A and B are shown apart, each in its own frame.
Chain A
Amino acid sequence: AQSVAQPEDQVNVAEGNPLTVKCTYSVSGNPYLFWYVQYPNRGLQFLLKYITGDNLVKGSYGFEAEFNKSQTSFHLKKPSALVSDSALYFCAVRDPSGAGSYQLTFGKGTKLSVIP
């Protein structure tokens, strides 16, 4: 079975500082990893994904994530946080070798607050 852990319920960061939102995963095969962001009263928006290749993935709005196979992690990062980045962030994983490749398993979410 596949699973995702986001160890922090909330992350606070000052505007202009770098931010990191942590994610670790567990799958039996090679993972497909995703980050989504959800603004209040809205659906989820895709930020970026790791499928294969370069461990550093660049995505929307200046976000990037680093895939680390040995640590089974896929942390989301941004060099300089904006107040508008404040939202709920979800890490998600798919195991393409699993019986149900439709199954996108989400972490519990991390609320990011960027303080002006």
Chain B
Amino acid sequence: DTEVTQTPKHLVMGMTNKKSLKCEQHMGHRAMYWYKQKAKKPPELMFVYSYEKLSINESVPSRFSPECPNSSLLNLHLHALQPEDSALYLCASSETGATANEKLFFGSGTQLSVL
């Protein structure tokens, strides 16, 4: 299994809602990532978990809250988002995250619209 699975594929939420994005991989990877991608732009790194510990937070607003319950799962909790947060949210994984030559495996993303 070489897949990273993200749910839901699409999400529409109001600015007062609370929702969560989920990501799962069963490749035994120990590093997991959240990226944000605006249309026709490159992905922007948000968070990195390595061995289930938060390693990098790229100055992401607190309305985004990541969680890594175990080595296979990664969540992104959303609360009080703004319309400008509408984007494709991509999850990725790599073997350890500690080696610069590792390739990333990406999920298909969650297309988020904030109304």
Number of B residues near A (Cβ < 8 Å) is 28
Range, interface on chain A: 20 to 34
Tell yes or no: B7 within 8 A of A by CB. no
B55-A49 in contact (CB<8A): no
Nearest-neighbour CB distance to chain B for A86, whole angstroms, equals 15
Chain A residues, Cβ within 8 Å of B42: 90, 106-109
Nearest-neighbour CB distance to chain A for B66, whole angstroms, equals 14
A102-B43 in contact (CB<8A): no
Chain A residues, Cβ within 8 Å of B100: 32, 94-96, 101
Number of A-B residue pairs at CB separation under 8 A:
63
- A78-B104 Cα distance, complex, nearest whole Å: 22
- A103-B31 Cα distance, complex, nearest whole Å: 13
B99-A46 in contact (CB<8A): no
Minimum CB distance partner of B101 in chain A: A51
Tell yes or no: A45 within 8 A of B by CB. yes
- A41-B56 Cα distance, complex, nearest whole Å: 26
Tell yes or no: A34 within 8 A of B by CB. yes
A102-B104 in contact (CB<8A): no
Tell yes or no: A56 within 8 A of B by CB. no
Tell yes or no: A83 within 8 A of B by CB. no
A residues lining the B interface (CB < 8 Å): 32, 34, 36, 41-46, 49, 51, 88, 90, 94-96, 100-104, 106-109, 111
What 3 A-B pairs have minimum CB-CB distances, sorted nearest first? A43-B106, A106-B42, A96-B100
